[in-house]
Copies of this chain bind each other. A is one copy, B any other.
Amino acid sequence: MEDFSVLFSYFEKIGNRKLTDTEKAEIVSVFRKETFNKKQRIFNAGDENTRHYYIEKGLLRMYIIDQSGKEFNLLFGKERQWLGDLGTPATTSYYLEAVEKTTVFSISESAFAAIMSKYTELSSNIRRSYIFLQKRFVAILSKTAEENYEELLNNDPDLVQRLPQYHISSYLGVTPVFLSKIIAKKARKRD
């Protein structure tokens, strides 16, 4: 029998109360526990009705590939975070991939919509995602790559450590070459 305790804790936290056995059974029935290996693709641009992922352990990235074949990391998700394309069930434009070996609880859009009416905190979560993206958007628009790198380093040093540099540069909207320059400059300053 698979271990859903992390998921139960999550719902107990957002519901601010213990779950009954019936509720636990309900949760087990709509979520699917899955594990993905490093670099394994979870969904692809063009896929319809993609699922939502609550991450137990590991690191995922959601990205696009532009006309010229270049990748842009839109979002990362790590343990105790949600990731997925909120545009679902419409055809997605994104790719979702594991950066590390990752274990998730996944749920279909329809089931997600259903539990949202029960756990209203899930809607607040979408709203928080919006606010996060808005901040990120403004930062990338109005600040230099150097400032944005500095900020990421402050806000989520863990992420910077777990990701290869070229994934970070793509998240910041610059080339790996340029991020390398920024880091070299920072190191030069420091001594």
**Interface positions of A (Cβ within 8 A of B):** 64, 66, 70, 72, 74, 86-87, 93, 116-117, 120, 123, 126-127, 129-131, 133-138, 140-143, 173
Contacts and interface: CB of A to CB of B under 8 A. Distances in A.
A143 B70 CA distance: 11
B131 A133 contact: no
Contacts of A120: 117
Copies in the complex: 2
A7 to B, nearest CB: 22
Given A130-B129, A130-B133, A133-B134, A141 B72 contact: yes
Contact of A138 (B72, B129, B131, B141): B72
Nearest to A123: B123
Q: Name the residue in A66, A74, A134, A173 with the highest tally of chain B Cβ atoms < 10 Å from its Cβ.
A: A134
B87 A143 contact: no
Looking at chain A's contact residues, is the secondary structure mostly helix, strand, loop, or mixed? helix
A65 B173 CA distance: 21
25 contacts: A64-B138, A64-B142, A66-B142, A70-B142, A72-B142, A74-B134, A74-B138, A86-B127, A86-B134, A87-B131, A87-B134, A93-B135, A93-B138, A116-B123, A117-B120, A123-B123, A123-B126, A126-B126, A130-B130, A130-B133, A133-B133, A133-B134, A136-B137, A140-B141, A141-B173
A61 to B, nearest CB: 14
Given A117-B120, A120-B117, A131-B86, A74 B126 contact: no
A140 B173 CA distance: 10
Contacts of A138: 64, 72, 74, 93
